[in-house]
Amino acid sequence: MKTEVCIESFEEATSADQYGINRIELCAALDLGGLTPSSGLIEKCAAEIKSETHVMIRPRPGNFNYSPDEIEIMALDIARAGGLGAKGVVFGCLNSDLSLDEAANAYLTSIASQFNLEVTFHRAIDFCNEYLSSLSKLCVLGFHRVLTSGQAPNVDAGRANIESISTIDELNIEVMAGSGVNPNNVNSLLEMDIDAIHFSIRKVAEQSDQMGKTYAVDHDKIKAILNEIK
């Protein structure tokens, strides 16, 4: 089983490398669910980190129904990530009725393919009202993997859905479980036929009065999860 961690700092990236994590999902503003990170952070991670660098492409917080201008911004960010050496990109577009926005996703995957980028559909799938049928569509659209909590707030609550999709042989897409992955539930995830787990590796270091929290790498969590996988 492969491992992926969502991070927003170079310190976290080097820690992921230290522990042999397979992929980093590089973000800004994880407190908002993750937004597109800076060019400098993408370039430095892609150049210096052995773990694969996959870049979050999300121009704003909130819903996943994007305007034409926002879609174009996402396309520019995908091209930028490819030019800076990223291995893959992570995004997901829905219509206002929470169905899959096939046109937007097809356009963005076509941009990614120009840079030979792998594409992951993120947890927008957990808000989609066509969960199973949309997974099949993602295969056709060219997505390599999907990140899901099983349409629940976390993987424990969504276990049944994750397990059900992991057994569908016709789904030619990697299934990665994420949201609330921790040392206590890793073994139950290992029992399922999923391809990867996705988790955060930070903890609050101090409650700053200088605009936001300060975070540090949670080495104990990383070690505990990896010990359960071995």
Query: pLDDT at residue 8 above 80?
Result: yes
Q: Is 210 exposed, middle or buried (0-12, 13-18, 19+ CB in 10 A)?
A: exposed
Residue-wise pLDDT for 166-183, tens only, equals: 888 778 899 999 999 999
- The residue ranges of DSSP E strands in the chain, in sequence order, are 2-7, 23-26, 52-56, 88-91, 118-121, 145-148, 174-178, 196-200, 202-206, 214-217
Calculate mean pLDDT across residues 4-21.
98
Q: What is the average pLDDT across 102-110?
A: 98
CA distance 131 to 17: 33
Q: Which domains does the chain have, with CATH numbers?
A: 2-116+181-229 (3.20.20.380)
Q: pLDDT tens digits, residue range 38-77?
A: 999 999 999 999 999 999 999 999 999 999 999 999 999 9
Give the chain's radius of gyration (CA, Å): 17
CA distance 203 to 215: 5
Checking if the pLDDT of 148 tops 90, the result is yes
Confidence of residue 143 (pLDDT cuts 50, 70, 90): very high
SS3 65: coil
pTM: 0.96
- Report the SS3 class of residue 73: helix
